[in-house]
Structure 1
């Protein structure tokens, strides 16, 4: 998982990280609506990170995910992601918004989990 970064008041966004499989399904579900904000992938390919509004960390309680603060703007200089060791799955300039709505993300993750659980049951 991506590590939290210290920041000052008013700096940055929060980052919700999830396993890649559920994250990709959630991205697809979010695209059916308004679309997600910027989305990161980590260097190992194990997690995706959704940029959400600052303050989400204090009220994020979704099993199988983590929410941590990030420092600075959504994109560092020259379009670099705000977290070392990551790349853009959906870069800020291609995202539907500057962040993903936490309520929409929460619902997309729940739906994605149900969908993937149903697929897993069908395979057995």
Structure 2
């Protein structure tokens, strides 16, 4: 049975069918996909990003990437968000950039899904994400 998360991710590839085939056949846990085609990525430091996931909760949180060291958290957002985002400490990946993406059903070292794509196409709402980032930053400053 095909993973809907895998199918959704593959749609960002220049040739989705070939990409899916290669990913499944190779057994690789990580692949490169272009940002700016189906989604952009906003990456924040892990100590800020992890609390944001809790603030957003499962109903409003779209796919989120994290590195195994916990130093970076990347939120998948609608295309065009990276070009318009204004904020300090946020790295933006949009059109013309590529990101490392883990297989949605395999565990690997390095990059992993903190919130995996469910195949629905749901992304993180930039306005809601910005508010959650402010709330997380305020909580961190209270410590």
Normalised to the residue count of structure 2, the TM-score between the two structures is 0.62
1:114 aligns with 2:138: yes
| Corresponding residue SS for 2:142 | helix
How far apart are residue 71 of structure 1 and its match? 5.3
Aligned residues of 1:13 and 1:53 also touching (Cα < 8 A): yes
Higher Cα Rg: structure 1 or 2? 2
Large movers: runs of 4+ above 6 Å? none
Matched with 2:55 is: 29
Secondary structure of the structure 2 residue equivalent to 1:30: helix
What are the ranges of 5 or more consecutive residues in structure 2 without an aligned counterpart?
1-31
**1:61-76 alignment, distance < 5 Å:** 61-69=86-94
| Residue from 58, 64, 84 that aligns with 2:83 | 58
Q: Determine if contact 1:13/1:71 at 8 Å carries over to the other structure.
A: no
Residue by residue over 1:67-122, the C-alpha shift from the partner in whole angstroms, topping out at 9 and shown as x without a partner, is 112659xx77x5379xxx521011012x9962100000011001100111001xxx
The correspondence for 1:15, drawn from 41, 62, 73, is: 41
Partners of 1:20 and 1:113 in 2: CA distance: 12
Aligned-residue RMSD, C-alpha:
3.2
SS in 2 for 1:92: coil
In structure 1, the residue corresponding to 2:60 is in which secondary structure? coil
**Aligned partners of 2:44 and 2:90 also within 8 Å:** yes
What count of residue pairs does the alignment treat as equivalent? Answer: 107
